[in-house]
Amino acid sequence: MILQGYNHWIFDMDGTLTMPVHDFDKIRTELGVEEGHSILEAIENMSDGKAIETKRKLTRIETDLANQASPQPDIESLLGRLINRGCKVGILTRNDEQIAHRTLQAAGLDIFFEDRVIIGRETCKPKPDPAGVLYLMEMWHTTAESTIVVGDYLHDLKAGFEAGATTVHFDSSEVYEWPEYTHHRVSSINQLLAMI
């Protein structure tokens, strides 16, 4: 029970709660965003007209992907156990919240999360900024000491780490990049279940 004493759990959505379906290189190509650049930040730097058109395209791509979402193996067991123990669970995603809801519904995971704890890019500055982690901690009247952030990418780990929370890097490939922002590593949700 390595992870005892953490009562507030913040999850990344795509690739953590759900199976990864986002091919970000392909999305970048479709949107005309240069390789290696972050999509949201690239849109921010576009002219108004181009930004609106690109956002529309992005929403269409994200909606298609959301409809294909499926749950990560064992994630229902993990969420169920945490909730039964009285832990709070929330989601911090770089998606917009409507897409997040659609994704969770398609994956059958919407039953585990109240609407107010699904934090997308319209509520807080997106990850890697720690704003969303701090926002949920404030909502829950809790501190970083009791908070865990679970994610499969640098943005998740950095946001959690910079908010002072404990981070768990979920990486089925077991490469485990970004050790500087990582406290614990798991290659499956089943492994995480064994730690709580």
Q: Which is nearer to Mg ion, 46 or 101 (CB)?
A: 101
Q: Which is nearer to Mg ion, 7 or 187 (CB)?
A: 187
In sequence order, what DSSP letters do the residues of 83-147 get, joined into one string?
HHTT-EEEEE-SS-HHHHHHHHHHHT-GGG--GGGEE-TTTSPPTTSTHHHHHHHHHTT--GGGE
Secondary structure of residue 177 in the 3-state scheme: coil
Q: Which is nearer to Mg ion, 21 or 51 (CB)?
A: 21
Shortest distance, position 20 Cβ to Mg ion, whole Å: 7
Q: Which is nearer to Mg ion, 88 or 127 (CB)?
A: 127
| Residue found under tokens 């229902």 | 76
User: Cβ-closest residue to Mg ion?
Assistant: 15
Centre a 10 Å sphere on the Cβ of residue 114 and count the other Cβ atoms it contains. Answer: 10
Which positions lie near Mg ion, rule CB under 5 A?
12, 14-15, 152-153
Shortest distance, position 14 Cβ to Mg ion, whole Å: 4
Shortest distance, position 12 Cβ to Mg ion, whole Å: 4
Tokens, residue 65: 């992907």
Q: Which is nearer to Mg ion, 18 or 54 (CB)?
A: 18
Which among 180, 178, 183, 153 is positioned nearest to 166, based on CA atoms? 183
Shortest distance, position 80 Cβ to Mg ion, whole Å: 21
Shortest distance, position 178 Cβ to Mg ion, whole Å: 13
Tokens, residue 161: 């780490």
Angle between helices 24-31 and 48-67 (to 10 degrees): 140
